[in-house]
Amino acid sequence: MSLDVNKIRKDFPILQRETRDGVRVVYLDSTATSQKPQQVIDAMNNYYQRSNANIHRGVHTLAEEATSMYEGAREKIAKFINAKSSREVIYTRNTTESINLVAYSWARANLKSGDLVILTEMEHHSNLVPWHMLQVEKNIELDFIPVTENGLLDVDSYKSLLDRAPKLVSFTHMSNVLGTINPVQEMIQMAHQVGAIVLIDGAQSVPHLQVDVQKLDADFYAFSAHKMCGPTGIGILYGKSALLESMPPFLGGGDMIKEVKLKSFRANTLPHKFEAGTPAIAEAVGFGAAVDYLSNIGMDNIAAHEHQITEYALERLEEIPGLKLFGPSADKKGGVAAFTLDGIHPHDVAQILDKDGIAVRAGHHCAQPLHEKFGIPATSRASFYMYSTKEEVDLLVNGLYKVKEMFK
């Protein structure tokens, strides 16, 4: 099945708007956040207009409706990633909080001085800084799987690191800069053979690929709604139930308790044990609607369309003199094209493109160590989704020629 992209684009109101200069928006920044279809917007509006109430605590009609919608979304998300149970799906604010939850709860309870945590050189800061903080606190050891010149992980180095018996291995499923899709299932299997727990940053993979956490055998898997057509401010930590049940609570307060006395408390059961306080209810409803939307289109169809767009984009971008692409070939990456233009700062590239309504990202993309690896301070990044078209790629290429002409 091929996507009817023109039909899909009509679902996204923001793609119909014009910029302040009166030009149509060309949105090539979906890696930072995706746009939202009307179906998601309507679901959140409907919740606020008809069923707004706090969840789990009330027995009146609105509270029961809100609770049903909130927990119904959890069920949809669990099915979407093929979790064994919705009890393994924990609502958080975003991927960053999900990773921090593992670092603060599981890692602080299970890691001691000298224990090794393996990361990679392509990680987002969200999967670096929590471990730096833990290193200061617990004196753990951090080491990193190198990235090769063509943007792939050095598997031989990974094997050598595993010989040192790490306690945790944590890495991205898909790089937000290079677009590299890592061999996650194989890497998890290798880590488990030496007894390591594995945490996957799936912020860039769940929106674009069919992810099956049981097939992958991931111990923890983190992702966000806002990159997969859902709202900001809500994410997911998937964890195997045995691990989650063994972990201490992350935050204390309402709803995460079974019983509270003046001098003690008992934590609630999963998943509520890790969801203190009033949650992002409308956002959960929107998250559920986003999962419905993606499921109706089909993740395999989305991945196939993005591959076509990425392959075309890389071919067109390679035509431009002085442009250098980073990352592997289209068959090994998702819908991302990070590049530099000789003698022109990425921020200037992005600002000039914006005059033609073309939205790209410029900077280190919360991956400073990766940019240092390649000896550059920043890149420009165009990223694609189900609503991206070849015509938009052509507009990007034309815009880059304009940038070169201005800096001639």
Q: Is the pLDDT score of 168 beyond 60?
A: yes
Chain length of the chain: 408
For 256-275, the pLDDT digits (tens) are: 999 999 999 999 999 999 99
Categorize the per-residue pLDDT at 21 as very low, low, confident or very high, splitting at 50, 70 and 90. confident
Active-site residue, from 63, 129, 366, 397: 366
What are the sequence ranges of the domains in the chain?
5-30+298-406, 41-296
Per-residue model confidence (pLDDT) at position 343: 95
| Residue 333: strand pairing partners | 180
How many angstroms separate the CA atoms of 8 and 305, rounded? 12
Predicted confidence at residue 117, as pLDDT, reads 98
* CATH C-level class of 41-296: alpha beta
Distance (Å, rounded) from C-alpha 11 to C-alpha 290? 12
366 in catalytic set: yes
Decide: pTM greater than 0.95.
Answer: yes
- Residue 336 CB coordination number (10 Å): 27
**Residue listed under structure tokens 């900077």:** 363
Q: What mean pLDDT, rounded, does the chain reach?
A: 97
Which residues make beta-bridge pairs with 149?
Answer: none
- Model confidence at 408, in pLDDT bands (50, 70, 90)? confident
Question: Which among 26, 20, 17 is positioned nearest to 357, based on CA atoms?
Answer: 26
> Among 18, 14, 5, which residue's Cα sits nearest to residue 354?
18
The reported pLDDT for the residue numbered 1 is 56
Q: What is the pLDDT of residue 2?
A: 74
pLDDT in tens, 228-261: 999 999 999 999 999 999 999 999 999 999 999 9
Across 169-176, average pLDDT: 98
Helix (H) / strand (E) containing 340: strand 336-341
In whole angstroms, give the CA distance from residue 175 to residue 201: 9
Task: State the pLDDT at residue 58.
Answer: 84
Q: Which fold has domain 5-30+298-406?
A: Aspartate Aminotransferase, domain 1 (3.90.1150)
